[in-house]
Amino acid sequence: MTYLFVYSKLEEMRWLVTRNGKPTRAKGISSSIVEEVPFLYPLFEVSLNVFLPDKPFKTYSQQIEILKKRNLIIDDTEYAEHLLKTYSYYDLVNGNLDKLMVHRHPDKFQDGISIQDLVKIRVTEDRIKSIFLKQILMIEKSFKTSLSYYISKNFGVDSHSGGYLTKRHYSNARGDIVSKTMKKLRNIRDGKVQSRQGNPIIYYREHHNHIPPWILIEELTLGQTIYWYKCLKANGKKTLDDELLHLPSGLSQDQIANLFLDSMNVLREFRNFFAHNSVLSHMQSKTELDLTLFIRPHEDEINLVYNIPNNLSNSHNLVACFLSILVLSEDFVQAQIFINELKQTMDLLTTDDEAKFIFESIFHLPIPLIENGEKFINQLPKFI
């Protein structure tokens, strides 16, 4: 027989009798006592036949006590409760805190960290996500506009057999992709989809004799739009690459084609991260950018990656997303707004050191990169 002792602040010591490590009976032990001893949950679930959550509900007061035990500074409990009601314990504590925790003690904050610091990080994260997502949506709109314009101009607007959804218009080298993509586009054209479609395509289906590319493309995700682009022959891709990618000089056509597709895929992945409210500091795209392609060969051109480490992390973290946004932004004013909003977010933080820590150490977005981006945007033609 083995005897396990269970202690509770409110209850006297109880005995759990086990045989060969398996519970045989429990005398006078309530589930409220067991909640104080999480490592015994599996034993008691068997012996008491009750559900014992490994993450039980905690009141705001209990949440505050947990944070204090984790070495977080909380001087005003009433204000702390207000913050927990506003942002939630989960959003404040989970995600971006690796740099705030004691080394090898992931549940303990470093000395000097307060709940106000967590709120600053959370607010900054929300602003950065919103700023980036807004610009990505602008780029997506420009991409769809240019692609549908090219399709309409070169293949016509007839969506029926023999029209712009016919395989003969597209690359023979990507036959498998072309077949699957054209089938998907025809299903969207015909309304053979599970999700509800937008009013424009429904109206055209009911009141017109065709669905033109600029209407069909509005029903596509960014990923589906990229696949439609990939179906184009080489000359069609080159036309769109040259129109949409803004790097002044120094790249071969193959490098331009690869950079365009990689940058667009980085934005696609980050768009999904932002839309699903993923943790900003953990975002990494599967697509990797070649940062050496952003080094400009001429002294009078802005080097976007000047003073930015060329490492694996920067090839697919927020640095990669930032670079992709800059080289694919079609509207000069919107690109300026993007940079200015990031600078305003930095200005909201108390000190330069605080801004540097939150932007660079937590979110992996170097401040010199933003400064390089501002110079890069100002150098571009104002009509892009």
Q: What is the pLDDT of residues 231-253, one digit of tens each?
A: 999 999 999 999 999 876 678 89
| Spatial separation of the C-alpha atoms in residues 65 and 55, rounded to whole Å | 16
Q: Tell me the pTM.
A: 0.84
Which residue type does 355 have?
A
Cα–Cα distances in Å, from 107 out to 83, 92, 93, 282? 20, 14, 10, 18
Chain centre to alpha carbon of residue 281: 9
Contact 152, 215 (CB under 8 A): no
Report residue 274 as tokens. Answer: 């932002």
Give CA–CA dist 189/146, Å, rounded.
19
Position 266 scores a pLDDT of 98
In the β-sheet with 2-6, what is the strand arrangement from edge to edge? 2-6, 14-19, 22-26
How far apart are alpha carbons 344 and 76 in whole angstroms? 29
Given a contact cutoff of 8 angstroms between Cβ atoms, the answer to whether 335 and 326 are in contact is: yes
Residue 131 has pLDDT above 60, yes or no: yes
Could you tell me if 139 and 225 are in contact, meaning their C-beta atoms sit under 8 angstroms apart?
no
C-alpha–C-alpha distance, residues 300 and 303, integer Å = 9
pLDDT of amino acid 269 = 98
Residue 14 pairs in a beta bridge with 6
CB neighbour list of residue 126: distance below 8 Å, 6 or more residues apart: none
> Coil, helix or strand for 73?
strand
Instruction: Provide the residue ranges of all domains of the chain, joining segments of one domain with +.
Output: 2-48, 61-113, 123-379
pLDDT tens track for 34-90: 555 555 555 555 555 678 888 899 999 999 999 999 999 999 999 999 999 999 898
Cβ neighbors of 383 (< 8 A, separation 6 or more) are 332
Strands (E), the chain: 2-6, 14-19, 22-26, 101-102, 105-109
The tally of CA atoms less than 13 A away on the side-chain side of residue 288 is 8
**With 60 as the cut, is the pLDDT of residue 11 above it?**
no
Residue 166 has pLDDT above 80, yes or no: yes
